[in-house]
Amino acid sequence: MVTITIGEFTRVEGNGEADIIIENGEVKEVKLKIVEGPRFFELLTLGRYYYDVPDLEARICAICYLSHSVASVLGIERAFNVEVPREVMLLRELGLLGEFLESHALHLYLLVAPDVFGYPDAIKMASKHGELVKEGLSIKAFGNYIREVIGGREIHGINVKPGGFGRYPTIEELEKIEQNSEALLRFAKRAVNVFADLKFYGAKAEHFVATNSYLYGDKLIACDEEVFDYYEHIEEKTLPYSFAKQSKYKGDIFMVGALPRVMLKSEQLTPLAKKLFEDHREKLSQGYVSLNNLAQAIELVYALEKAKEIARELLDKGLSCENVPVEVQEGEGIGYVEAPRGVLIHHYKIDSKGNISYSNIITPTALNHAIMELSLYEEAKKNYGSLDEKTFVQRLEETVRAFDPCISCSVHLVKL
C-alpha cells in the first residue's frame, strides 16, 4: 500500500490535505483531511446572551462572515418568533448579495481563473489577462463595499442584529450600490463566457440541496422535491482523520453551492441571469462538480441585477430605519442561509433569560465534504498512472478548488 499525500492545498481558504491510498496499483480510498485546528464555536456561544451571538458567529469565517451573522440572526429571530419587516429582510439580502460578489469574485478570478489559463497564481496571470483580473477585483471591491454598508465593516462588522440593524444605509450609499451594480454587469457577463467551456471533472452530483428561497429560507429543498428541516434527512458523522464532520442526505452523498442553487431555483433568477442559465442549462444539468464555477459566474450576474433591484425598491419606498423590538422568551430556531459556497445552518435553543442553551452550526464545506472526497477519489482513479505525479496532484487540487471550499468554516471544516 502506498499513500500519496497532497500537503496543504494552495489557493483555497484554510488548511486542508488529502491522502490518496493506493493498493495493488489502484486507487483504493481518498481521505480529505482538514488539518486546521478546531475552534469550537458551538461551545463558545453556549451560555452567551443572544444579542452578542451573531457577532461571535461572524468570526467563523471572514469570507462569508455576513452569511454567518444573518443565519445566526434568523435562527434567533425564529426562536423568539420575531417577524421583521420587508425592508430589513431586503437589506439583509443586499448584504448577502454583496458577500456573493465578494466571495465569488475572489474565488473565480483569483483562485480558479489561473487554473483555466494555466498560471500558478493571479499575479502571474495578470501579465496576460490583466483586464480580467482587474474586472474581478472591481467586482470584489464592490461586494466588500456592500458588506461594509450593510454589515458595518468589510470583515466582521457587527451591524446585523436580531430585529434589524445598528445603522441603516443612507440614500447616497443605496444610490451608489444601484449605480455600481449596473456598471459592473458587463464584467460579470464576460465571466460567464470565460467559465462556460470548463472541462468536466470531479464527481457527478446525484443530489442537490438548497434553501427554499434563493438567498435564505425557512426550510431546505432537495432535487427529489423534498422540503425538510436539516435534522430530518441530513446526518452528520465525525471522521477519525479530520477536524471536519461529514454529512449525507438520506444516506447519500449530495452537494450544496452555486450549482445546486441555479439548478433547483432557476425560476427565482433575475432576467439576464435566467437567460444565461437557460443558455447553459444542458451543460449544467450534467451535474459535474466542476460546473459549480459556471454556476457561480451566473450568480455574479444574478447578484448584480438583484442588488440593483433591491436598492431601487428601497430608494423608491424610502427607509423607515426602525428595528423590531425583540422579546426574550424560551424557544428554538433554525436559520438557513445560502452562503456563497452553499447551505449554512445555524440552529439554536435559547432559554428564558435569552442565553443560548444549545447551538449547532453546519457549514457548506462540511456538507460538501463527502462529495469533495468522492470527487477526489474519482479524479484520482481516472488519472492515476496516466499522469505524472505533479500533474496528477495539480488535477486533484483543481478538483477541490471547484467547490470554492473554505476550510475555516469547515471546522466543523479547505485556504487561499
Partner 1 sequence: MLKLGVFELTDCGGCALNILFLYEKLFDIIKFYEIKEFHMASSFKEHDHLDVAIITGTVSCQRDLELLKRVRNNSNYVIALGTCATHGDVQGSVEGSIREKLEKVYGSRANPMKALDSKPIVEYVAVDYALPGCPYDKDEVYQVLMDIAKGVEPPKKDYPVCIECKLNEYECVLIKRGIPCLGPITLGGCNAICVKSKVGCIGCRGPLPKEANPASEFEILKELGYDEEYIRKKFKTFARGELRW
> Which residues of the chain form contacts with partner 1 (CB under 8 A)?
7-8, 10-11, 13-15, 35-44, 47-49, 52, 55-56, 59-63, 65, 106, 137, 141, 144, 152-159, 161, 165-167, 238, 240-243, 245, 406-408, 411-412, 415-416
Query: Is 129 or 245 the residue whose CB approaches partner 1 more closely?
Result: 245
**If you search the block for the grid coordinates 500533474, which residue do you land on?**
391
Shortest Å distance, C-beta 228 to partner 1? 24
SS3 content of the chain, % helix, strand, coil (to 5): 50, 20, 30
Shortest Å distance, C-beta 221 to partner 1? 28
Q: DSSP readout, 155-176? A: TT---EETTEESSPPPHHHHHH
Shortest Å distance, C-beta 262 to partner 1? 26
Q: Is 309 left (phi over 0), alpha (psi -120 to 50) or beta?
A: alpha
Query: Is 32 or 294 the residue whose CB approaches partner 1 more closely?
Result: 32
Question: Which amino acid is residue 320, in one-letter code?
Answer: S
Is 356 buried (19+), middle (13-18) or exposed (0-12) by CB count in 10 A?
A: buried
Shortest Å distance, C-beta 154 to partner 1? 6
Query: Is 290 or 408 the residue whose CB approaches partner 1 more closely?
Result: 408
Q: Give helix 271-284 / helix 292-317 axis angle, nearest 10°.
A: 160
CB atoms under 10 Å from CB of 267, counted, come to: 7
Task: Report yes or no: 179 and 308 within 8 Å, Cβ to Cβ.
Answer: no
Task: Report yes or no: 413 and 23 within 8 Å, Cβ to Cβ.
Answer: no
Query: Is 65 or 336 the residue whose CB approaches partner 1 more closely?
Result: 65
Shortest Å distance, C-beta 364 to partner 1? 15
Query: Is 68 or 129 the residue whose CB approaches partner 1 more closely?
Result: 68
Q: Are strands 220-222 and 2-6 parallel, antiparallel or unpaired?
A: unpaired
Shortest Å distance, C-beta 99 to partner 1? 13
Query: Is 166 or 385 the residue whose CB approaches partner 1 more closely?
Result: 166
